[in-house]
């Protein structure tokens, strides 16, 4: 699968998400989209990242930008995570890694000396025409949501 490239059309995705919805990039034309990939629901880094996006959502909305978090967890896990953290945006479930592979975020990782394949924390900013305008890979959570917001604001100026 080709790796997504900046200034090209973003890979079209369709996935089941919280709120009993199915979301497709093609349904979001006219809006900027933040698609952030995270490893696992209810883990410290993923919780902090989601809270940061939650707390900045009103500013993203002013910038005509919708936020989606995505991981491999089930809808049930996502619904629990969203409710517990009061997330004001939807989480997409990708158990078969189809969207993860489209965006090339499945990478070899290592924990306690064990190697495994998992999601590399990554964020993609897609403009209102469906073009990939910025990507962040190997994301460090601290300050990340603010950095993405600043990039989103520039799309409307």
Residue positions annotated with a catalytic role: 46
Q: H helices then E strands: how many in the chain?
A: 5, 9
Rounded CA separation 85/70 (Å): 15
Phi-psi region of 13 (alpha: psi -120 to 50; beta: other; left: phi over 0): beta
Contact 52, 141 (CB under 8 A): yes
**Chain centroid to CA 105:** 11
Find where tokens 């996006």 sit.
53
Count Cβ atoms below 10 Å from residue 96 Cβ, excluding itself.
Answer: 10
Polymer length of the chain? 157
Count Cβ atoms below 10 Å from residue 18 Cβ, excluding itself.
Answer: 22
């Amino acid at each position: 699968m080709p790796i997504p490239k900046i200034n090209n059309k973003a890979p079209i995705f369709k996935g089941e998400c919280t709120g009993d919805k199915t979301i497709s990039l093609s349904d979001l034309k006219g809006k900027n989209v933040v698609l952030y990939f995270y490893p696992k629901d209810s883990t410290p880094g993923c919780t902090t990242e989601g809270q940061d996006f939650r707390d900045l959502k009103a500013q993203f909305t002013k910038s005509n930008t919708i936020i989606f978090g995505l991981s491999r967890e089930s809808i049930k896990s996502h619904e629990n995570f969203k409710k517990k953290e009061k997330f004001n945006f939807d989480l997409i479930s990708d158990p078969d890694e189809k969207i993860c592979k489209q965006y090339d975020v499945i990478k070899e990782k290592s924990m306690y000396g064990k190697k495994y394949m998992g999601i590399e924390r990554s964020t993609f900013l897609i403009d209102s025409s469906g073009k990939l305008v910025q990507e962040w890979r190997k994301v460090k959570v601290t300050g990340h949501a603010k950095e993405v917001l600043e990039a989103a604001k520039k799309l409307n100026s």
